[in-house]
Structure 1
Amino acid sequence: MHSDFQAAIDSEFGAIADLVRLHARHTPGHAALADAQHTLDYRALDALMDRIAASLQRDGLQPGDAIAVCATSSVNYAAVFLGALRAGVAVAPLAPGSTPASLARMISDADARILFSDASAAEVIGPAQPGGIARVALDGSQVGGAFDAWLAPAGAQPRPVAAQPSWPFNIIYSSGTTGEPKGIVQGHGMRWAHVQRGARYEYDSRTVTLLSTPLYSNTTLVVFFPTIAFGGCVVLMPKFDALGYLQLAEKHRVTHTMLVPVQYQRLMAHPRFDAHDLSSYKFKFSTSAPFNAALKADVLKRWPGGLIEFYGMTEGGGTCILEAHLNPTKLHTVGQPAQGSDIRLIDEEGNELSRDDPDAAGEVVGHSAGMMTGYHRQPEKTREAEWFDAAGKRFIRTGDVGRFDADGFLTLFDRKKDMIISGGFNIYPSDLEGVVRGHAAVADVAVVGVPSEQWGETPVAFVVRREGDTTTEAALLQWTNDQLGKTQRLARLSFIDELPRSAIGKVLKRELRERDAG
């Protein structure tokens, strides 16, 4: 890396858009962004970011204003995100799979001045969308005015903007799996903290990162921005499929990737997985959903390079990191608190529990330099998400229940809201899922609590059978309950073709509860 880049990355705070400028100066012809149709080198990316920033300023947007992007991942999408940052404009990346009403609420909540979109979002951009907002189509479709026509002329230069750590960088809307999405405001300082840990994972100008999770997810952005900041190349895959992913990985000699556990599951199960040359990989990352220990072990055995699991929240507040390749006996955990992360446990009343007590299981709370400012326009929700220690230090509540072992590794039991209270006993669905998963017939499983007149709540399992298996629901239910304690036994077990999941792999347990009630 060149010396002025090293000085910049070592600074207490910096702007990612400024690092792109440095790379454009020193390695102008190096690829920065690629999708199936286009590749941009750093010279072209830097120039396009200038045109985008100048266009936003021409349209009257000031630092702290927001735009919305509702589209599939593409070179233009990534360039718009980065160009907005150069103008000090926050980005609200939104899911094309939203409902029209939900999309309209998020656009309104973010105060977005312009909506950038593509054909994938055509169905949700309807009459429910707030009027008066300018629409720009990133792909030449009819969802808005042409991107090329909106852009300022080639060579346009924006007014210089010096971003501040407290300025909003992006507004990430929660998946809404538990209710109405909340806008999580992340500052430039939080993103800079993510970038600065990049050297630990060998990001540099030779990095090639393959991303198949969407750009509206924080899961993707925690790998996207370090890759760009260190002058590497991001290859964007708009829609994941296992064989297509393996082919791209081999073609581009990929070094880094972010995948959610269900994607690892599908890749490792693909009959042609071992036929592909994946020897270029340095690090593979995962986050967002529970990662089964046996699956981690399979990845370590058959896929070159390190495996890193991040545990944390989009809201920030602290991260645990499991370097699985260095800790093969700790695959059932989510690792140890990252440097600069203060992770603690609290009980139902908000009292702090001792991490040294092997029986102390409580809600996980965390503090770090990377913390959300708050939920956009929802101060009461922000207060609910916060916990303060006796000295007044601010922590973010995760809603997860966990316990530390003697080596300081955190084991998670479940989401607090997913815990089932049956007849006064606490039942963790993950415990039951672990038992069910032990049967050879089971490819995937989720356990949820449903209302019960007799017990208050009772556990129900939804199971995806392995292809070709003939085990019956009754036989699997009997087998499972024979291994469970009396208070844990499943009331019902149903086969299902596929578990409902969000775009980043979280099981939508609310949908399963509704399915059972229906």
Structure 2
Amino acid sequence: MDTFQTAIDRAFGAIADLIALHARQNPERTALRDAGTKLNYAELDALMDRIAASLQRDGLGAGDAIAICAAASVPYAAVFLGALRAGVAVAPLAPGSTSTSLARMMQDAEARLLFIDASTADGTGNATTPTRITLDGSNAGRTFDDWLMPVGARPAAVAVQPSWPFNIIYSSGTTGEPKGIVQGHGMRWAHVQRGAKYGYGRDTVTLLSTPLYSNTTLVVFFPTLAFGGCVILMPKFDAVGYLTLAEQHRVTHTMLVPVQYQRLMANLAFGDHDLSSFRAKFSTSAPFGAALKADVLARWPGGLIEFYGMTEGGGTCILEAHLHPTKLHTVGQAAEGSDIRLIDEDGREVAPGADGEVVGSSAGMMTGYHRQPEKTREAEWFDATGKRFIRTGDVGRFDADGFLTLFDRKKDLVISGGFNIYPSDLEAVVRAHPAVADVAVVGVPSEQWGETPVAFVVRRAGDDTPEDTLLQWTNAQLGKTQRLSALHWIDELPRSAIGKVLKRELRERVR
């Protein structure tokens, strides 16, 4: 019989097979739980078998896809895992997308089945699929229990291959034309194998409050289960609820986006909760300010690890903030196996110490954008030897120690009077004022300068500083070419479900 170490050390394996191994060796250990449901490994493994057998009964196999559009829950997670056991790819879709975008994504993924819940039934009404299955038993489609094969059903064995699609994650499902990022089983296996470095094991308890359609969540979700730990799913984040669960379940690992860290650290109840069980806290997806990282390190036990990379893959930088307290302004160094370089506008590598667009190559790269070869080619860069890299669209610079500092997205760069202005530089200045809780700077059209920077600022509770006063203070700290043309108070910055500021929405407010 395989031991876990033998299985995880293989050049390639299937995550579903690791779960079966844990079910044999530790059947009573809790694998998944949400507010109302808990499954141990034996129960999860048996449910995955029934799901895989049900998919095979419906004629799905390697190369086919299903879609899931629902809040995070134990049934959602089980369907994802059961599909993988059958060799079926999963397209997890964002519930916040428009019905038109969801219909386009469904069509693009060629999903044969759509799994939903009551919270997403209305938004998925335009999706044309043979069957809609409701994970929560609601009446918007066939119920999950009715769709499932009987207890004890077993699927035909499937020898999953590294090149097979694992999931299709859509990068722009809220507006615009969605791009399906196809990630293979080989890419996910590479993510799992680095898990030992971050302390995953059978005693791991991971609390996740980011959505299961996001790669942000999945890079922690799958390693936890692959190593035999427990995942607690929190479908909607709130600071006090998170802290209560973390203390109650003696959580060891978590993934949070920076805005969640910000809200937790600012919550008056933070210090009232025992968080001493934490071993590793992760973050990704959005800029993570150095001052906020320092606050987390000072007041929250356990390591703090920031991942920088793209859903498309291509390479990762990692900052182990607790080990490098003088590098908190960076996103760390290239991870083992990642080749990260910087290129100029003409696609040439820049000189050491110069700014450039970040490109990366590694074993963990997307196959491509689903059915969009032209978009795939636009995302690729090849060096002189023909080695393939993925373009990030981010501008950065390496320091002498190989730590990468990011400035901004290329598309967010403001070009005013011929000068390049990085919004992140201006945001850092505004954020230093005691009246400011949060800020985002965008470029808006200007007849005189081409573009000018405008700031949208969230005021700290109880502050009454006038806009003009803050604008004058900010511009006094900036160079002449950087100065803001306007500053506006705003109740809350518009953000995606994983915490990214939606700057396009801010630009639309001033056009």
Amino acid in structure 2 at the alignment position of 1:238:
P
Q: Check the 8 A contact 1:175/1:502 in 2, yes or no.
A: no
What is the TM-score normalised by the length of structure 1?
Answer: 0.98
Task: Confirm or deny that 1:19 pairs with 2:18.
Answer: yes
Find the aligned partners of 1:177 and 1:102 in 2 and give their Cα distance. 7
Identify the residue that residue 232 of structure 1 maps to in structure 2.
229
Identify the residue that residue 277 of structure 2 maps to in structure 1.
280
Q: Check the 8 A contact 2:314/2:361 in 1, yes or no.
A: yes
Aligned residues: 511
CA distances 1:303-361 after superposition (whole Å, capped 9, x unpaired): 0000000000000000000000000000000000000000000000001113xx22x10
Identify the residue that residue 127 of structure 2 maps to in structure 1.
129
TM-aligned CA deviation for residue 179 of structure 1: 3.2
TM-aligned CA deviation for residue 366 of structure 1: 0.1
Identify the residue that residue 389 of structure 1 maps to in structure 2.
383
TM-aligned CA deviation for residue 515 of structure 1: 1.1
Unmatched runs of 5 consecutive residues or more in structure 2: none
Find the aligned partners of 2:220 and 2:426 in 1 and give their Cα distance. 33
Identify the residue that residue 98 of structure 1 maps to in structure 2.
97
Identify the residue that residue 261 of structure 2 maps to in structure 1.
264
Q: Give 1:126-165 correspondences, 5 Å limit.
A: 126=125, 128-130=126-128, 132-165=129-162
Identify the residue that residue 510 of structure 1 maps to in structure 2.
504
State the SS of the aligned residue for 1:119.
coil
Identify the residue that residue 365 of structure 1 maps to in structure 2.
359
Amino acid in structure 2 at the alignment position of 1:29:
E
Identify the residue that residue 30 of structure 2 maps to in structure 1.
31
Find the aligned partners of 1:516 and 1:298 in 2 and give their Cα distance. 34
Task: Confirm or deny that 1:88 pairs with 2:87.
Answer: yes
Q: Give 1:24-423 correspondences, 5 Å limit.
A: 24-126=23-125, 128-130=126-128, 132-176=129-173, 179-354=176-351, 357-358=352-353, 360-423=354-417
TM-aligned CA deviation for residue 175 of structure 1: 3.7
State the SS of the aligned residue for 1:83.
helix
CA distances 1:130-159 after superposition (whole Å, capped 9, x unpaired): 2x4210000011221110010000000100
State the SS of the aligned residue for 2:4.
helix
State the SS of the aligned residue for 2:437.
strand
TM-aligned CA deviation for residue 176 of structure 1: 4.5
Amino acid in structure 1 at the alignment position of 2:179:
K
Percent identical? 79
Q: Give 1:477-496 correspondences, 5 Å limit.
A: 477-496=471-490
Find the aligned partners of 2:124 and 2:293 in 1 and give their Cα distance. 40
Find the aligned partners of 1:35 and 1:177 in 2 and give their Cα distance. 27
TM-aligned CA deviation for residue 64 of structure 1: 1.4
Find the aligned partners of 1:495 and 1:373 in 2 and give their Cα distance. 43
State the SS of the aligned residue for 2:92.
strand
Find the aligned partners of 1:5 and 1:350 in 2 and give their Cα distance. 44
Q: Check the 8 A contact 2:101/2:174 in 1, yes or no.
A: no
Q: 1:445 aligns with which of 416, 421, 439?
A: 439
CA distances 1:88-111 after superposition (whole Å, capped 9, x unpaired): 000000011111100000000000
Alignment RMSD (CA, Å): 0.9
Find the aligned partners of 1:76 and 1:136 in 2 and give their Cα distance. 11
Find the aligned partners of 2:491 and 2:83 in 1 and give their Cα distance. 42
CA distances 1:2-58 after superposition (whole Å, capped 9, x unpaired): 961100100000000000000000000000000000000000000000000000000
State the SS of the aligned residue for 2:3.
helix
CA distances 1:345-400 after superposition (whole Å, capped 9, x unpaired): 0000001113xx22x10000000000000000100000000000000000000000
State the SS of the aligned residue for 1:443.
strand
Q: Check the 8 A contact 1:317/1:370 in 2, yes or no.
A: yes
TM-aligned CA deviation for residue 129 of structure 1: 1.9
TM-aligned CA deviation for residue 180 of structure 1: 2.2
Q: Structure 1 runs of 4+ off > 3 angstroms? A: 175-179
Amino acid in structure 2 at the alignment position of 1:488:
Q
TM-aligned CA deviation for residue 70 of structure 1: 0.1
Find the aligned partners of 1:413 and 1:304 in 2 and give their Cα distance. 29
Task: Confirm or deny that 1:424 pairs with 2:402.
Answer: no
TM-aligned CA deviation for residue 160 of structure 1: 0.2
Find the aligned partners of 1:17 and 1:214 in 2 and give their Cα distance. 21
Q: Check the 8 A contact 1:211/1:220 in 2, yes or no.
A: yes
Find the aligned partners of 1:181 and 1:435 in 2 and give their Cα distance. 35
